[in-house]
Amino acid sequence: MGIREFPGGAPRGKSIAVGMRRSPDVSPRRLSDISPQLRQLKYLVVDEAIKEDLKWSRSVEDLSSGPLGLTSIEERILRITGYYGYQPWAASYKREERPRDSPGPAEAQAPAGAEAGGRTSHPCWRCSRAQLKKMFWGVAVVLCVCSSWAGSTQLAKLTFRKFDAPFTLTWFATNWNVLFFPLYYVGHICKSTEKQSVKQRYRECCRFFGDNGLTLKVFFTKAAPFGVLWTLTNYLYLHAIKKVNTTDVSVLFCCNKAFVFLLSWIVLRDRFMGVRIVAAILAIAGIVMMTYADGFHSHSVIGIALVVGSASMSALYKVLFKLLLGSAKFGEAALFLSILGVFNILFITCIPVILYFTKVEYWSSFDDIPWGNLCGFSVLLLTFNIVLNFGIAVTYPTLMSVGIVFSVPVNAVVDHYTSKIVFNGVRVIAIIIIGLGFLLLLLPEEWDVWLVKLLTRLKAGFEDWDDLWPSGK
């Protein structure tokens, strides 16, 4: 008299109108494989006499359990057919006891339950001590990134008044990259519980390049191209500073985020996001408006083209790094940047020498070189790259990128008092458009889900406020 269930599909009983087809002998692995049977469950009818005779049957109890009956049958079919990932205890938890999802990592769930007045309590916003510490470090990192990037840009502008040699300045500053790995090793000795010698740490970080480590072939195929891109990025940026003001240079360089997205979408087949396409369009529109702000003069057009080229080289560097080398740990990144410094010393040194003797970048005496400005620029650029590459250890990556945007108003204020820049309406709109596009590119992939959850939380908060302070009486 009992109702039995078979892997083939429907329960079997003498007074049950089923009308369900038997599924194949192969056990389905997707929910869509048994969707026809699930859709026909609503036509399943159990005779009252059988329910009385089989009142101790678990299947009939599930069927007559109110609004959850159909869900229980679905769970049993999924368990019988071997649907992958099915966990009945997890399903029951999700159906009956699951709390509301958190809209972000900084939120903790409040205890569920009803208050004395019969009103259900809503979750509240909370921040743990670790998250507050991370936010504090984030503010410090933003200030450090902003000050170092804006400071290096302004100091480069000041240096060119006495030392008109952008490529030599690029070469000199890139040589300081050799300090990355020594500085990382000092931090490793101070923080790590397991001390390693320099040789041991070097060999471990060399695994980033493959099983054979850093060989001559790897050096020329995986390090040298990035050394060339690094030099081109910095040289084009510095050369643009000679042509246009630092505000335009800094805001146009923010377009590299849009170029990274476009290249990642094309080369790496990253996920398509409409909001990032909008951001890329805003960046391109900002470039055009920035060119129009100066009246399309040849001097400004060349400068803007140099900045866009620098941003493109930076984007190509990042995308190729992800394509060829993947992601790197802190030690591996430090070793890679130090290798770029070594490549610069060994293979790029000849270019400033050639430029000097051909008088393209010429200075009368070495005593006339402003060594203080050169060293200050190199230290600020080194600080910027250190914070940008290793700041993720103490804060969120998005906050580090925000520091680059904040350098734009800093440069604008400095230019307002030190140069003859004219902030007309077109230039201001272009700056705002490019900055908005940059911020849109910082949105996470699930930004729409987070926004819906945030609005839901805010709506619940307003409902609580209306309950506490009723109006109209």
Residues 171-203 pLDDT 10s: 999 999 999 999 999 988 888 788 888 899 999
Q: Confidence band (pLDDT; 50, 70, 90) for 299?
A: confident
Output the six-digit token pair for 272.
């398509």
pLDDT digits (tens, 9 = 90+) for 459-472: 776 666 666 666 54
Output the six-digit token pair for 324.
């060829």
Q: Confidence band (pLDDT; 50, 70, 90) for 115?
A: very low
| Whole-angstrom distance, CA of residue 430 vs CA of residue 428 | 5
pLDDT for 313 equals 95
**C-alpha pair distances (Å), 291 with each of 294, 406, 430:** 6, 22, 9
pLDDT for 7 equals 42
Least confident of 41-50, 126-135, 161-170, 231-240: 41-50
Has residue 212 got a pLDDT over 80? yes
| 3-state SS track over the chain | CCCECCCCCCCECCCCECCCCCCCCCCCCCHHHHHHHHHHHHHCECCHHHHHHCCCCHHHHHHCCHHHHHHHHHHHHHHHHCCCCCCHHHHHHHHHCCCCCCCCCCCCCCCCCECCCCCECCCCCCCCHHHHHHHHHHHHHHHHHHHHHHHHHHHHHHHCCCCCCHHHHHHHHHHHHHHHHHHHHHHHHHHCCCCCCHHHHHHHHHHHHCCCCCCHHHHHHHHHHHHHHHHHHHHHHHHHHHHCCHHHHHHHHCCHHHHHHHHHHHHCCCCCCHHHHHHHHHHHHHHHHHHHHCCCCHHHHHHHHHHHHHHHHHHHHHHHHHHHCCCCCHHHHHHHHHHHHHHHHHHHCHHHHHHHHCCCCCCCCHHHCCHHHHHHHHHHHHHHHHHHHHHHHCCCHHHHHHHHHHHHHHHHHHHHHHCCCCCCHHHHHHHHHHHHHHHHHCCCCCHHHHHHHHHHHHHHHHHHHHHHCCCCC
Q: Please state, as a whole number, how many other Cβ atoms lie within 10 Å of the Cβ of residue 247.
A: 25
Taking residues 68-89, what's their average pLDDT? 46
Contact 102, 109 (CB under 8 A): yes
| Whole-angstrom distance, CA of residue 332 vs CA of residue 223 | 13
**Terminal CA-to-CA distance of the chain, rounded, Å?**
64
pLDDT for 470 equals 60
Instruction: Give the chain's mean pLDDT.
Output: 75
Most confident range (mean pLDDT) of 225-239, 325-339, 384-398, 433-447 is: 225-239
What residues contact residue 345 under an 8 Å CB cut-off, 6+ apart?
A: 175, 178
Has residue 291 got a pLDDT over 50? yes
pLDDT for 448 equals 66
Contact 286, 437 (CB under 8 A): yes
Taking residues 14-21, what's their average pLDDT? 41
Least confident of 48-57, 204-213, 248-257: 48-57
Taking residues 285-302, what's their average pLDDT? 80
Which residue, among 418, 369, 397, has the nearest Cα to 153 in the 3D structure? 418
Taking residues 42-60, what's their average pLDDT? 48
Output the six-digit token pair for 12.
């079997």
| Whole-angstrom distance, CA of residue 382 vs CA of residue 147 | 13
| Whole-angstrom distance, CA of residue 76 vs CA of residue 246 | 67
pLDDT for 39 equals 55
Q: Please state, as a whole number, how many other Cβ atoms lie within 10 Å of the Cβ of residue 355.
A: 17
What residues contact residue 173 under an 8 Å CB cut-off, 6+ apart?
A: 234, 374, 377, 378, 381, 382
Q: List residues bridging with 136 in a β-sheet.
A: none
pLDDT digits (tens, 9 = 90+) for 214-233: 899 999 998 999 999 999 99
**C-alpha pair distances (Å), 203 with each of 130, 199, 332, 338:** 33, 6, 10, 14
pLDDT for 464 equals 65
pLDDT digits (tens, 9 = 90+) for 131-182: 788 788 888 888 999 999 999 999 999 999 889 999 999 999 999 999 999 9
Taking residues 228-239, what's their average pLDDT? 96
Q: For the CA atoms of the chain, what is the radius of gyration?
A: 32
Q: Confidence band (pLDDT; 50, 70, 90) for 423?
A: confident
Has residue 456 got a pLDDT over 70? yes
| Whole-angstrom distance, CA of residue 398 vs CA of residue 382 | 20
CA dihedral 169, 174, 175, 176 (to 10 degrees): 110
385 or 446, which is more confident: 385
pLDDT for 5 equals 41
Q: Please state, as a whole number, how many other Cβ atoms lie within 10 Å of the Cβ of residue 90.
A: 11
